[in-house]
Amino acid sequence: MDDLYREVIIEHYKNPGYRGHLDPHDIQFEDNNPLCGDHIEITLRTDEQGNVADARFDGHGCAISQASADLLMESIIGKPIEEVKKLSKQDVLDMLGIDLGPVRLKCALLSLKVLKAGVYGLGEASDSLVE
């Protein structure tokens, strides 16, 4: 079964390395998945070169949504913001290493949606950001 619940996912869900809230921060954004009530907040610090200096996520939800948020934070630290803007759905799926049905895909992509709305400075997170 438990392809969906690979060890890496359970591990990042139970012991996230990047759960928290950065204060002060340069970028902050949060959103819900209205279907299941999952909630993700992301805070980032950037350096003078335009790289992500530090990143944290907070919130609640299923293992897929929380693990993908943790993996995503881990992956963007040190990266240029311009590169973060280009992250795609496939990048997140590669990190998770699983195939997901349409319902759980929304769980997996919530953190990316929130991250991209934040780095683009948008007022609202839209699904089109992660297509």
Cα angle, residue 77 at apex, residues 111 and 47 outer, rounded to 5°:
115
Each as own residue / partner, the long-range contacts of residues 122-127 (CB below 8 Å, 24 or more positions apart, any chain) are 125/29, 125/31
CB distance 96 to 71 below 8 Å: yes
- Cβ-based nearer residue to other proteins, 19 or 79: 19
Neighbours of 26 (CB within 10 A): 16
CB distance 53 to 95 below 8 Å: no
Does 35 sit near other proteins (CB under 8 A)? Answer: yes
Does 10 sit near other proteins (CB under 8 A)? Answer: yes
- Number of residues in contact with other proteins under rule CB under 8 A: 19
Does 8 sit near other proteins (CB under 8 A)? Answer: no
Q: How far apart are CA 58 and CA 50, in angstroms?
A: 23
Give the one residue of 22, 36, 77, 105 binding other proteins; rule: CB under 8 A: 36
Binding segment for other proteins (CB under 8 A), chosen from 57-65, 73-81, 87-95, 118-126, is 57-65
Does 86 sit near other proteins (CB under 8 A)? Answer: no
- Cβ-based nearer residue to other proteins, 9 or 92: 9
Give the one residue of 2, 23, 124, 127 binding other proteins; rule: CB under 8 A: 2
Residue 5 DSSP symbol: T
Residues that bind other proteins (CB under 8 A): 1-2, 4-5, 10, 13-14, 35-39, 60-64, 104, 107
